[in-house]
Amino acid sequence: MFKLINMEDTIRIPPETFGKPLDTVGYQQVKAKYEGIVDETLGYVIAAINVKVSPVGKIIPGDGATYHRVTFSLLTFYPTLQEIIEGEVVEIADFGAFVRIGPVDALLHVSQLMDDFISYDEKQGVLLGKETNRKLMVGDKVRVRITAVSLARAGGSAKIGVTARQPFLGKLEWIEEDLRKIKEPTGKKEKKEEKSGER
């Protein structure tokens, strides 16, 4: 889920930047500190926006810089368990597919793809269902549910697991096919009822 979080902090304005617009320097400092980090509380920090620096700063003895209060907003992505999200397949491997959701790739393991025996065609880069003949390849759009989230701790990497083995999840074309199959029988019954009502 994408969020916009309002924040406050104190930033250091280095002496070499004195004379430059305070908000511009403040934005650069906030951007360097926050953008691109993965935090257990914030999630994935994508961008810092609306940076406002207080014109009144403090000087600390022994440091030629000034320290200013700053308010800003962070655009973040925080994956939550059981959230349904759409993404694009960016890589196929024999063990599953990587799906780009927001700024990160989640693993869709072969066991979580569909109720079918799945084979991997390395030449074509395709995961193929034996009975359904359904194919998954790079560039396909999928709807998945988040089943595991492990955000990075200092120096580690974040891991997100997703599933498509539930009704109305999977490749978007498969979902449309399933919906058509559900609608077809009811449509035929309605026509029969109309004919019997005419007699």
35-82 confidence digits (pLDDT tens): 988 888 888 899 999 999 999 989 988 888 999 999 999 999 988 899
Residue 174 clears pLDDT 60, i.e. is over it: yes
Residue given tokens 């759009």 in the structure block: 141
Residue 74 CA to its chain's centroid (Å)? 16
Query: What's this model's pTM, rounded to 2 decimal places?
Result: 0.74
Confidence band, pLDDT 50/70/90 cuts, at residue 186: low
Task: Report how far residue 124's alpha carbon sits from residue 4's, in angstroms, rounded to the nearest whole number.
Answer: 40
Domain interval for residue 130: 84-172
- Using a pLDDT cut of 90, give the percent of the chain over it: 53
183 inside domain: no
Mean pLDDT for 156-168 is 84
Across residues 83-101, what is the average pLDDT? 93
Tell me: do 29 and 68 sit in the same domain.
yes
Cα–Cα distance measured from residue 87 to residue 106, given in angstroms and rounded to the nearest whole number: 9
Q: Is residue 182 part of a domain?
A: no
CB-CB contact of 98 with 107 (8 Å): yes
43 domain-assigned: yes
Residue whose pair of structure tokens reads 């403040």 in the numeric block: 26
The mean pLDDT of the chain is 87
Tell me whether residue 192 is in a domain.
no
Q: What is the CATH number of the domain that holds 22?
A: 3.30.1490.120
Instruction: Kindly indicate the confidence band of residue 92, based on its pLDDT and cuts at 50, 70 and 90.
Output: very high
Q: Which CATH number fits the domain that encloses residue 162?
A: 2.40.50.140
pLDDT grade for 197, boundaries at 50, 70 and 90: low
- Tell me whether residue 184 is in a domain: no
Please check whether residues 10 and 54 belong to one and the same domain: yes
What are the tokens at 98? 């990587």
- In this prediction, residue 194 carries a pLDDT of 52
Per DSSP, what are the bridge partners of residue 91?
A: 98
Question: With bands split at pLDDT 50, 70 and 90, how would you rate the model's confidence at 188?
Answer: low
Same domain, 6 and 23: yes
Average pLDDT over residues 183-190: 59
pLDDT at 199: 47
Six-digit token string for 23: 């908000």
Residue the block writes with tokens 């070499």: 16
Task: Indicate the number of domains in the chain.
Answer: 2
Report d(CA 13, CA 60) in Å as an integer.
12
